[in-house]
């Protein structure tokens, strides 16, 4: 039975042709990439947590510089350097996660042809980085590849994961903006440590939900190749 399109999404594409008679669908194992997606997400979260004490130390350093009448450009702390490993970790997480989701999507198309996908397969990669649509396309991608798992994976869990992911996407950008470039705004710098602390908590919650999703998808695919 074909699932109806979700509200506001384009019409379902034509049904994929069945594989040639006598040739089984070439389902590819996704376990290794699932582990990689989980590990890279953990690394990103660890960096976010490490930023918290560094942010509190940097906050004191910037306030001392403000009292001395110096510019923020004259202050250099460990907090200012942690952004570089974070960028590398995010790139690694993006690549591995998209490779995993692409294989999961391919397997779903081969084994569950009745499943409707709101977005074409290319958006598995593009959905995360194209401005504006990145706010909901990745959620649709993950939602659609988990349609066969509805008994084990609720839409509510997916919704909470995506909500916390969006919150961390925005909150992670606030801290670096508070230190400024030039004259130090003491009122902004005073909330640097707190801001990074809140961001770390949001990231941890998003990670826990994401690990549950990865684990359940990986388990179900193993049981139903």
pLDDT tops 80 at residue 141: yes
To the nearest whole percent, how much of the chain has pLDDT over 70?
Answer: 85
- Taken in order 67, 68, 71, 75, the sign of the CA dihedral is negative
Mean pLDDT of the chain: 85
pLDDT of residue 42: 98
* Residue 127 confidence class, pLDDT cut points 50, 70, 90: very high
**52-68 core/surface letters (b: 16 or more CB in 10 A; e: else):** bebbbebbebbbebbee
The more confidently predicted of residues 91 and 189 is 91
Report which secondary-structure segment, H or E, holds 81. helix 78-81
DSSP string for residues in 26-56: -----HHHHHHHHHHHHHHHHHHHHHHHHHH
pLDDT tens-digit series, residues 30-60: 999 999 999 999 999 999 999 999 999 999 9
pTM for the model stands at 0.83
Predicted confidence band of residue 147 (pLDDT cuts 50, 70, 90): confident
Residue 199 and residue 86 in contact, taking contact as beta carbons nearer than 8 Å? no
Least confident residue range of 36-50, 126-140, 168-182, 198-212: 168-182
Exposed/middle/buried for 107, CB within 10 Å: 0-12, 13-18, 19+?
buried
């Amino acid at each position: 039975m074909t699932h109806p399109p979700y509200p506001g999404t384009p019409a379902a594409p034509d049904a994929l042709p069945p594989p040639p008679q006598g040739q089984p669908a070439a389902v590819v194992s996704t376990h290794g990439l699932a582990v990689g997606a989980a590990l890279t997400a953990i690394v990103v979260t660890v960096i976010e947590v490490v930023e918290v004490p560094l942010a509190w130390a940097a906050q004191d350093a910037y306030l001392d510089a403000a009292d001395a009448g110096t510019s923020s450009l004259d202050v250099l702390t460990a907090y200012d350097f942690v952004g570089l490993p974070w960028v590398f970790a995010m790139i690694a997480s993006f690549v591995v996660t998209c490779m995993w989701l692409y294989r999961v999507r391919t397997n779903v198309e081969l084994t569950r042809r009745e499943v409707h996908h709101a977005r074409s397969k290319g958006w598995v990669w593009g959905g995360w980085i194209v401005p504006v649509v990145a706010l909901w396309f990745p959620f649709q991608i993950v939602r659609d590849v988990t349609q066969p798992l509805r008994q084990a994976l609720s839409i509510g869990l997916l919704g909470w994961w995506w909500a916390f992911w969006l919150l961390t996407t925005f909150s992670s950008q606030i801290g670096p903006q508070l230190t400024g470039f030039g004259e130090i705004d003491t009122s902004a710098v005073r909330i640097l440590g707190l801001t990074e602390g809140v961001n770390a908590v949001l990231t941890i919650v998003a990670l826990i939900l994401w690990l549950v999703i990865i684990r359940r998808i990986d388990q179900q695919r193993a049981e139903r190749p």
